[in-house]
Amino acid sequence: MINTVSRLLAALLVTTFLAACTGGESNVEIGNREGILHFGNGSEPQGLDPHVVTGVPENKIVRSLFEGLAVKNPWTLEPEPGVAESWDISEDGRVYTFYLNPEAKWSNGEPVTAGDYVWSWNRALHPAMGNQYAYMLFPVVNAQAFASKQIEDFSQVGVKALDERTLQVTLNEATPYFLQLMDHYSTFAVHPETILKHGKMTDRYTKWTRVGNMVNNGPFNLKEWKLNRRIVVEKSDTYWDRDKVRLNGVVYYPTENIVSEERMFRVGQLHTTGTVPLDKIPVYQAMENTPYVQSPYLGTYYYLINTNREPLTDVRVRRALSLAIDRVKLNDTVLQKSNFPAYSITPPGTMGYQPPKLFDYDPELARSLLADAGYPDGEGWPEVELVYNTSEGHRKIAVALQQMWKDVLNIKITIANQEWKVYLDSVDTMNFDIARRGWIGDYVDPNNFLDLFITDGGNNNTGFANPRYDDLILNLAPQADTQEERFRLFYEAETLLMEQMPILPIYTYTNKKLKHPSVRDMPSNLMDSLNLKYVWLDADWDKGAEK
């Protein structure tokens, strides 16, 4: 292992040296001088409509173009003013009154109004919109009833424009994480006239998000979008806090091939990557003054199981698949000890909550369960396919689990990669047997992981439905008098979930990336939350001590 690392490290350093000697300025050098950040962003985005998109690559771009009522401080993750310059919360925690900043403007110069939020939340919750994140607004009075067509009059939903600058939101119960939701793109306002210029309120993927058409309210505006090449945003001159924004622009690259992304970083084409190839982690860890950054990350990597498809309809089969996975071995070998084995959907320790651990690696029990389900030693096992979005890391994990299932259960599961948009469509339509999935917290609370699996939830792509689970998450936990009682209810719900095993938890994430030392004020945080209005580039980074 030592010799392998040494050879890789030597090759890495030689490649970097040769790249530096080829002449001409790199993206990083030019970017440092001109204030342009070059950002590895994973996959080509599904779109840029805040009420349609669902992925991490989309999140990074959308939050540079739009801003919510509140934003997250990147160091503390505490809410701070965004479109709302201040807010009041009633004593019972159920009524929020947001006072909009009079300088908050759309990119066409028009003011952002409370009415824009009422219209936008109507759109986000409208059943015809198909917003998979509609449930983020379910703490609001009658939001769930409107989204599920129990009521049709949006005026009955607890969001009111008291005047152009005052928005009042009434909740069903006190919701400790509600302010955090205001920085999630599903709660952002969109410009009504722009949406309607290019279609109906609830139309998806219309031309309003194209260059030249988009009207937005964030620190940057959309300048260029070349499919599968780059998306360029430039500093907005209408943004209310523009004096704080030090970057002149950002170039986002679709870096689905993480081997190529790492190579781009080495030769100065990127300031930062989205991740790091697993086999390069030891190489970067061994480097002095390494650009490798690893930090805790509020997320779980897991596999979805389509419980409507045979033989996965049988809970014994689902449990057998889970018990046959040696998560410790997977982490120690394939994952280079860079993550933590997961046995639940909620990352342990989220706000002090500890999820249940109902199982472990148990080959004997796994074989017994599969035999009880009618497949002794794998006999009669039908064709089952695992799909994942294109990524070398996802492929290595899928291959490892494929071999574990073969070794322990004597069954064959085929694996197939899909391009990002195709993969998202497969998951959304439940056109899969087993599918790779990852969930990164949108706010710091166990609820953000557990409400994924409410019946017919926008991101519940498993077929799992349990009335007791729904009651615990939607009704009983929000009404709990104490945190202890709330966590007890969460524990009961997660126990129900993991007994039915509609998902296979694999590992708890850590955040891993490469970051050039010229990048300033882009701190690591538990949610990998990026607030670009703080980020700047130090052209003199190599001329003295770290600033």
Name the nearest CA neighbour of 334 among 388, 404, 389.
Answer: 404
Spatial separation of the C-alpha atoms in residues 532 and 219, rounded to whole Å: 8
Q: Are 140 and 62 in contact (CB under 8 A)?
A: no
CATH topology of domain 2-44+220-292: D-Maltodextrin-Binding Protein; domain 2 (3.40.190)
Dump the DSSP string for 183-216.
Answer: TSGGG----HHHHHHTS-TT--S-GGGSTTT---
Q: What is the pLDDT of residue 7?
A: 41
Q: What is the pLDDT of residue 544?
A: 55
Q: Which CATH number fits domain 67-209: 3.90.1150.200, 1.10.357.10, 1.10.3720.10, 3.90.76.10?
A: 3.90.76.10
Residue 68 dihedral angles phi and psi, to the nearest 5°: -90, -175
Name the nearest CA neighbour of 463 among 301, 305, 302, 303.
Answer: 305
In CATH, 295-510 is 3.30.830.10: no
Structural domain boundaries of the chain?
A: 2-44+220-292, 67-209, 295-510
Tokens of 484: 């202890």
Dump the DSSP string for 253-316.
Answer: E---SHHHHHHHHHTTS-SB-S---GGGHHHHHTSTT--EEEEEEEEEEEEEE-TTSTTTTSHH
Average pLDDT for runs of 10 along the chain of length 547: 39 41 80 98 95 94 98 95 98 97 98 98 97 95 97 98 98 95 97 98 97 98 97 98 98 95 98 95 95 96 98 98 98 95 96 96 98 98 97 95 98 96 95 97 94 93 97 95 96 98 97 97 94 97 64
On the CB side of 182, CA atoms within 13 Å amount to 29
Question: Which helix (H) or strand (E) element contains residue 498?
Answer: helix 483-500
Burial class, 10, CB count within 10 angstroms (exposed 0-12 / middle 13-18 / buried 19+): exposed
Q: What is the pLDDT of residue 539?
A: 95
What residues have CB less than 8 Å from 126, skipping those under 6 apart? 146, 147, 201, 202
With 0.75 as the threshold, say if the pTM is over it. yes
Q: Are 139 and 478 in contact (CB under 8 A)?
A: yes
Tell how far CA 381 is from the center of its chain.
Answer: 35
Name the nearest CA neighbour of 45 among 35, 37, 54.
Answer: 54
What residues have CB less than 8 Å from 526, skipping those under 6 apart? 77, 296, 297, 298, 441, 444
Q: What is the pLDDT of residue 545?
A: 47
Q: What is the pLDDT of residue 23?
A: 55
401 — alpha (psi -120 to 50), left (phi > 0) or beta?
alpha
Cα angle value 180/183/186 (rounded, 5°) = 110
